[in-house]
Structure 1
Amino acid sequence: MTDAAPLTRPGRRPARKAPRVVVAVGLTLALAAGVGYAAELGPFDPGPPIPDADAAKQARAFLAEWEAGRMARAAALTSSPEQAERVLQSFTAGLDISGPTLTPGAATAGEDGAVTVPFTAKMPVTDLGTWTYASALPLREQDDGSWKVDWALSLVHPKLSSTEKFRLEREDAAGPEINDRDGNALSSEKYPSLGPLLPRIAGGSGAGPRGAVRRVDRATGDIKGTEATFGKKSDRPADRPVATTLDATWQSAAEKALATEAEGKDAALVALRIDDGEILAVANSPASGFNRAVSGTYAPGSTWKIVTTSALLLKDAVAPGDVVDCPQYLTVGKRFQNVETSKYPGATFRKDFTASCNTAFISLRDKVGDQELGDVAGKYFGVGQKWRVGIPSYDGSVPVPRDQTEKAASMIGQGRVQANPLIMASVTATAVSGAFHQPTLTSGKDTTKTTPLPREVVTQLRELMRATVTDGTASVLADLPGDVGAKTGTAEVSDGVPNNGWFVAHRGNVAVACVVEKGVTGGASAGPVVRGLLDAVPGDPS
């Protein structure tokens, strides 16, 4: 029996007023008749309608504009732009929704010519959580042959109607006092970056701010139902203070350093103790909103070369004194280059590290297996394991490269390698101590399993990071007293967007990591932030 010929689409017909029913025609005559009749179809039956591709495309465009907050542009794709814009604005603003994710499903065609595209909505309600529900977009062909979303309140949410709407209710319950490691009270007024964190810490065991999305009668305001609830009640007595690992002095200095040195750019910083992973400071700029320091997902750029170097040293694939040439460019599927297209002919690996030479590191990619970088990151540095920090956190990802170009990018902290300041502060602490300690803000349980780095690897990493301060790209810290070590990073974002700047450092028993979005280079943008912090707090925490 031969296979059925592919379904074909008729050409577009002239515009007409009646909605079009999309029909597929043309099955091969060689299709065995028994197969067709078994399904109660004649041998020439065209089968079910195929949804119009233009309709599905219009649905995706509508969801993309709504998702991006461009309500006027989304509304313009509907049959009732004025009402659509008003409702979409009211819905997202009134429920404190920001950054929704709207995922379309497969389109289906109805007998009346309409096309329906289902979608899943994930609506983050500020400071509470994500409201997830399913809805669908009806689309109809217009007189001119184009397609528009057939506007109805119910497409925003199936239960939104002319008689019922939604109302956000927040529970403004006073939480317990939050203290730093020395018993000093912490507040969002004095430490703005802690504003989004304190409610989560106060609840303990995942409890935090509480609230609900209610469905109410438009005329009376009476509650008709509850669509989503957020948070849970804490079992901790409200009059019992919550102790944290934070240090008020370090927290204040971190917030001041970001405010004075980040030049108004989005930025984040984490400082933690090297010997036990206890977090001393978490600061974000802007202070309110997304906690990019702990939950951000960034390419760590050249700060990741600490992990790459560890992988190379662990298998004796390179030594600091080995010559590893640093050319201006290196092509592995795409052309890679160094910052400011620098080059160092005949450079040693020590020079490659201190000058942050991308091409030298990429040239060593065959020295490690495709999965090896991720294995080292997880086994020795805990990256990608589940961390119990005390607040929600993103704990990193190092996927196996899909090809040699992505492997080359992974060697320098690009590609799909993802981290944030918390992760990179921990990586720094592990590199210079040899032991991973799960970062924590409270007395959370550590369920990670890691292996200590060999002492000789730790010694070499410390020497390389120290040389980066005395003779390399981290010279912004060169005149600080003590055995200070550091690594800079510049991470590409996308074409036409300035690079993110990274800087990690260690001094005494403290490791610090900072990212400045669109900072261009780590030494020039994140470096001064770390310098400002270390200048303000010259000694170790108690």
Structure 2
Amino acid sequence: MTDVAPLTRPGHGHGPGPARKGPRVMVAVGLALALTAGIGYAAELGPFAPGPPIPDPEATRQARAFLADWEAGRMSRAAALTSSPGQAERVLRSFTSGLDISKPTLTPGAATADDEGTVTVAFTAKMPVTELGTWTYSSALPLRKQDEGAWKVDWALSLVHPKLSGTEKFRLEREDTAGPEITDRDGNALSGETHPSLGPLLPQIAGGVGAGPRGAVRRVDRATGEVTGTEVSFGKKSDRPADRPVSTTLDATWQAAAEKAVAAEADGKDAALVALRIDNGEILAVANSPSSGFNRAVSGTYAPGSTWKIVTTSALLLNDAVAPDDVVDCPKYLTVGKRFQNVEASEHRGATFRQDFTASCNTAFISLRDKVGDQELGDVAGKYFGVGQKWRVGIPSYDGAVPVPRDQTEKAASMIGQGRVQANPLIMASVTATAVSGTFHQPTLTSGKDTTTTTPLPREVVTELRELMRATVTDGTASVLADLPGEIGAKTGTAEVSDDVPNNGWFVAHRGNVAVACVVEKGVTGGGSAGPVVRSLLGAVPDDPS
């Protein structure tokens, strides 16, 4: 049996009518579908319809060259890549100078093409307005092939900014932001004129985080000068009364000495220093070189190098993993995924751990990496030293990071303050203060609220840390301080940056109730670069602040 009906011929079985109609209908439908499909393909609606035009790579290259020249301030070269060089150069120069824009960042985006032959390259503009902030917006460059065959930016005012036109332009307006008087801990007035490093910080101190210079970029009518809109606003108003002085923890004498030390002893290199009280974390001095601009001392992110061995040593002592008189060999090299070495490939065979600390032996510390867990270094840094917790200093600050190592090579680097360990002079001054007192106190410039939670170091750990740091001055790499009075303790650090950039030099020290930390970028060694800065400060201010 089969489920298919037998074919019939006319006059047999079912008759001719129904047996012939079905196939004709099917054929008609098939023809209709075929015709429809044919029309569809002819109209380019089928699966093989061409996509949008592909941008010419040469046009994209020309757009990137224009943005690179504009970004670098090469206005003549940028203008030469446009269809109207004279006007383009005038506008580019007046736009950046008139709005006090310095060092813009212009990032090219996607390129598209249309059927008319125009290639459009999107870009993002980040325009730093001097002393106010960064104005970020998006625009696009149209490019057309010229008669001679070269691609050029099709000049229009709107490519500089979409709202710049023949009827509207931009105007920068700054507000008078004279704030309250800022004083030191004894009521002495502080200013950027007398203490240059404080110039960028005082507006932040006066109004809190985010306060400072205020202003806006306005859109104005070219004919009437009337303001038609605001493109971007900077700063916020302070909620402090302008007639009420703001007291800080700073000490005018220490601040002046710190600024002088950094300016005189850093050999013209970028440098930063912080001094703070050990008993309560109050910041006595913040110095930066150069004094204007970025606050390296409090917001910088650096590998702390061997000054971090204070934290590493704390972790080892907490685990009873080593004692100062234990022999921990210090070879020239040690390979853990990569070859590590000591400064100038020095070695100390049969050295004790005390000698490893005072000589800052990298290979000895790395050889002890299995004595601490992969996450333990970060745990100790946070639990006992407050590193990585949120600090409320009174101005914007970077509070450190000690990520869990991704492999054994990175763990080895973390043991000596390299890898992804990040700190700054504020953090390392605080680490020093905690190590020699046993108790973390959140650093502060004002009466900010402390929201950190830490645990005191055991007394025996503190005693050993103090002894090791003292020995580093009397018998080790911090001997630059050996002739100063007082029971000074210290630790040096040399932090690698990259293969083609000189190392950063670090130095931390404590004396009496003060802890100090200094970094000198490209200083090569800590003892040779940052050491003289700290010595100059401690030599100029022999007495602890009250």
Q: Smaller-chain TM-score range?
A: 0.7 to 0.9
User: Is 1:406–2:410 an aligned residue pair?
Assistant: yes
- Which of 140, 164, 183 is the equivalent residue of 1:160? 164
User: 2:233 is matched with which residue?
Assistant: 229
SS at match of 1:124: strand
Answer yes or no: is the 8 Å Cα contact 2:405–2:411 preserved in 1.
yes
Report which of the two structures shows the higher radius of gyration computed on alpha carbons: 2
C-alpha distance 187-118 of structure 1, shift in aligned 2 (>3 A):
same
Residues 368-417 of structure 1: CA deviation (Å, up to 9, x unaligned): 33333223222222222222111111222223333333333222222222
Residue 20 of structure 1 aligns with which residue? none
Stretch moving more, 495-504 or 154-163: 154-163
Matches within 5 A, 1:83-122: 87-112=91-116, 114-122=118-126
Structure 1 residue 259 corresponds to structure 2 residue 291: no
1:346 matched to 2:361? The reply is: no
2:309 is the counterpart of 1:308: no
2:435 maps to which residue?
431
- C-alpha distance in structure 1 between counterparts of 2:439 and 2:191, whole Å: 33
Secondary structure at the counterpart of residue 269 of structure 1: strand
Match of 2:532 in 1: 528
Matches of 2:161 and 2:80, distance apart in 1? 19
| Paired letter, 1:469 | V
Alignment of 1:95-494 (within 5 A): 95-112=99-116, 114-139=118-143, 150-204=154-208, 206-494=210-498
Following superposition, the deviation at residue 496 of structure 1 comes to 2.5
> 1:519 maps to which residue?
523
Deviations 1:329-369 (A, max 9, x none): 22333332221221222222222221112222223333333
Unaligned runs of 5+ in 2: 1-36
The 1-side partners of 2:347 and 2:368 are apart by 16
In 2, Cα distance between the equivalents of 1:75 and 1:313? 65
Q: Which amino acid aligns with 1:276?
A: N
What 5-or-longer segments of structure 1 have no aligned partner?
1-32
Is the partner of 1:466 in helix, strand or coil? helix
Distance, in Å, in 1 between the alignment partners of 2:377 and 2:392 is: 23
Q: CA deviation at 1:534?
A: 0.4
Work out the CA distance in 1 between the residues paired with 2:474 and 2:202. 39
Amino acid at match of 2:310: I
Compared with structure 1, are the counterparts of its residues 460 and 148 closer, same or farther at alpha carbon in structure 2 (3 Å cutoff)? farther
Cα drift, residue 223 of structure 1:
2.1
1:57 to partner: Cα distance: 6.3
Deviations 1:71-127 (A, max 9, x none): 566666666666555544443443333454445544445444555444443333333
Q: CA RMSD in A?
A: 3.0
CA contact (8 A) 2:69 2:75 kept: yes
Given the two structures, how large is their TM-score scaled by the length of structure 2? Answer: 0.84
Q: Distance in 1 between matches of 2:150 and 2:365?
A: 53
Indicate conservation of the 8 Å contact 1:503/1:523, yes or no. yes
Report the alpha carbon displacement of residue 501 of structure 1 after superposing the two structures with TM: 1.2
Alpha-carbon distance between aligned partners in 2 of 1:65 and 1:380, rounded to the nearest angstrom: 50
Whether contact under 8 Å (1:282, 1:293) holds in the other structure is yes
**In the TM superposition, what is the alpha-carbon distance from 1:498 to its structure 2 partner?**
1.9
Q: 1:297 to 1:48 in 2, by over 3 A?
A: same
| Counterpart for residue 13 of structure 2 | none
Q: Output the CA distance in 2 between the equivalents of 1:372 and 1:114.
A: 59
Deviation at 1:253, TM superposition (A): 0.7
After superposition, the Cα gap between the structure-2 partners of 1:114 and 1:456, relative to the gap in structure 1 and judged at 3 Å, is farther
| 1:200–1:209 CA contact under 8 A, matched in 2 | no
**1:374, 1:399 within 8 Å by CA — same for their partners in 2?**
yes
Say whether the 8 Å CA contact 2:277–2:283 is kept in structure 1. yes
SS in 1 for 2:532: helix
Alpha-carbon distance in structure 2 between the residues aligned to 1:364 and 1:73 = 57
Counterpart contact for 1:272–1:281, Cα < 8 Å: yes
Separation in 2, partners of 1:75, 1:376: 57
SS at match of 2:401: coil
How far does the alpha carbon of each residue in 1:146-202 deviate from its partner, in whole angstroms, 9 at most, with x for none? Answer: 866555433332223344332222212321111100111111111111111111212
| 1:424 positional shift | 1.2
Q: 1:235 to 1:485 in 2, by over 3 A?
A: same
Counterpart-to-counterpart distance in 2, 1:406 and 1:115: 46
Residues of 2 paired with 1:74 and 1:303: CA distance? Answer: 47
Aligned residue identity for 1:366 = D
Deviation at 1:519, TM superposition (A): 1.3
Return 126-135 or 510-519, whichever deviates more.
Answer: 126-135
Change (3 A) 1:253 1:416: same
**Distance in structure 2 (CA, Å) of the matches to 1:520 and 1:285:** 17
Does the 8 Å CA contact 2:52/2:114 hold for their aligned counterparts?
A: no
Deviates more, 1:305-314 or 1:272-281: 305-314
Q: Counterparts of 2:100 and 2:219 in 1: how far apart (Å)?
A: 15
Distance 1:283 1:476 in 2: 21
Aligned residue type for 2:516: V
Rounded Cα–Cα distance in structure 1 between residues aligned with 2:471 and 2:488: 10
Q: Residues of 2 paired with 1:358 and 1:152: CA distance?
A: 59
Write the distance in 1 (CA, Å) between the matches of 2:97 and 2:385.
41
Amino acid in the other structure paired with 1:260? A
Give the equivalent residue in structure 2 for 1:16: none
Please give the alpha-carbon distance, in whole angstroms, between the structure 1 residues aligned to 2:195 and 2:533.
17
2:177/2:212 contact within 8 Å kept = no
Per-residue CA deviation, residues 275-306 of structure 1 (Å, 9 max, x unaligned), is 11111011111212221111222222221222
**Percent identity of paired positions between Structure 1 and Structure 2:** 88
